[in-house]
Homo-oligomer: A and B are copies of this chain.
Amino acid sequence: MAKVIELNKSITDSNDRDAQKLREELKQKGVFLINLMSSPGSGKTTLLSSTIEDLKDKVNIAVLEADIDSDVDAVKIEKLGAKSVQVHTDGMCHMDAGMTKRGLEGMDLTGIKLAFLENVGNLICPAEFDTGAHKNVMILSVPEGDDKPLKYPLMFSMSDVLLITKTDAKPYFDFDIEACKERVLRLNPKIKIFPVSAETKEGMDAWEAWLLENLF
């Protein structure tokens, strides 16, 4: 047992009312909004691209890309034919409900049934701020390791869905999917877990069926 020192902080949560309001407004418009979170490089954009390819003939999709800088992700998404807006957070490490609302106001949502907010790549701060999304979805990729639920419990606790991605890379990494599932379910017994590979498309059907079932 290592020596452990606890440090304290205070959290403000003035954001919650704005989030609730945005959630209701979007529902009235028939737009189902997903907040997609993960650490940098876990493959959010690749997963989204693959999902859009598979579903674009069934449902109109829009994507709000949040990044500190660059527009590489929005450009990729636009090429697939989905609507996309890039939001720059000016160094901020997460999106909140006000930022999400302003981003969504930057595009015409007429006819859109499914919208994704691709949150800033960060396994910590985005979990603390309600964005106004209807469901929170997080990604953990195989190369990141199966110990992440132990180290970043909050995001695993507040997510509705966990996508374990890059499962095609499993032969090269020491990642125990069953042990990871157990750790996550101990934190959050209601979470749905889909192991997927955007590369080989393995498991993508179950994730996409979940999306279609949840539309308004």
| A interface with B by C-beta (< 8 Å) | 1-9, 11, 39-41, 65, 67-72, 74-75, 78, 84-93, 99, 102-103, 106-107, 120-125, 128, 141, 143-145, 147-148, 150-154, 166, 169, 172-173
Contacts and interface: CB of A to CB of B under 8 A. Distances in A.
B2 A148 contact: no
Contacts of A41: 39, 141, 143-145, 148
A13 to B, nearest CB: 12
Given A7-B88, A90-B8, A152-B40, A2 B65 contact: yes
B122 A72 contact: no
Contacts of A150: 69-70, 72
A3 B87 CA distance: 8
Contacts of A84: 2-3
Copies of this chain: 2
| Closest 6 pairs between A and B when the two form their complex, measured CB to CB | A41-B144, A2-B74, A143-B143, A93-B124, A2-B71, A70-B150
A39 B90 contact: no
A123 B3 CA distance: 26
A75 B151 CA distance: 14
Given A69-B151, A70-B150, A86 B5 contact: yes
A74 B9 contact: no
Contacts of A144: 40-41, 143
Contact of A151 (B68, B87, B107, B151): B68
A197 B41 CA distance: 19
A3 B74 contact: yes
B9 A90 contact: yes
B152 A121 contact: yes
B141 A91 contact: no
Contacts of A107: 3
